[in-house]
Amino acid sequence: MVWWILAAIALVLLKIANVYIDHAKKVAATKAYRSAENLLTPAEQRFWLTLRQSLPPSVMACPKVRLIDVLTPSDGDHSAKQRVLRKHLDFVLMDSTNTRILGAIELDDSSHSRKDRRERDEFVDAALYHAGIPILRVTVARNYDGEVIAGQINQMLGKKKLSASA
């Protein structure tokens, strides 16, 4: 009888130890992270400030949207899903009342002249085109003109001129 009691106590202590060890591992794993501080890079932030002022109230810009959230691969096409899974768009424009995707904006810096980036950009452009989502490519600049950005968005969306409040 004593053996059963000792075995039961040992099992309880082992379970408590495992719970403690699992908790300690989870805490240690979470300490591997820190805040990125800002969602946008300085170049994206400069464009964002102008973009917000260049859109009418009916259009909203969402930064850093995963491509998989914009494009739905054909059913069961695992390779198509993998091609978009780790990519994101700099900005996605959506209708602010119903969240319908209106278009995408990509900022192109000097890295976009590299072969791998050109191939990525060609793939993204073609995939968006086939999905019926227009894309606007904007060259990174130190400053942006809100009226110019509004005009480019207007042309991309094929709508009446958007007025910028900038």
Q: How many domains does the chain have?
A: 2
Is the domain of 51 the same as that of 132?
yes
Is the domain of 63 the same as that of 142?
yes
- In a domain, residue 164? The reply is no
Q: Judge whether residue 160 has pLDDT over 50.
A: no
Q: Which two tokens stand for residue 27?
A: 């805490």
Domain range for 18: 1-33
Is the domain of 22 the same as that of 57?
no
pLDDT, tens digit (0-9, with 9 covering 90-100), for 27-72: 777 777 888 899 999 999 999 999 999 998 889 999 999 999 999 8
Is the domain of 64 the same as that of 126?
yes
Is 43 buried (19+), middle (13-18) or exposed (0-12) by CB count in 10 A? Answer: middle
pLDDT, tens digit (0-9, with 9 covering 90-100), for 72-120: 887 777 787 888 888 999 999 999 889 999 999 999 988 877 888 899 9
Tell me the one-letter amino acid at 59.
Answer: V
Is the domain of 47 the same as that of 22?
no
Is the domain of 118 the same as that of 56?
yes
The Cα 105–Cα 99 span in angstroms is 16
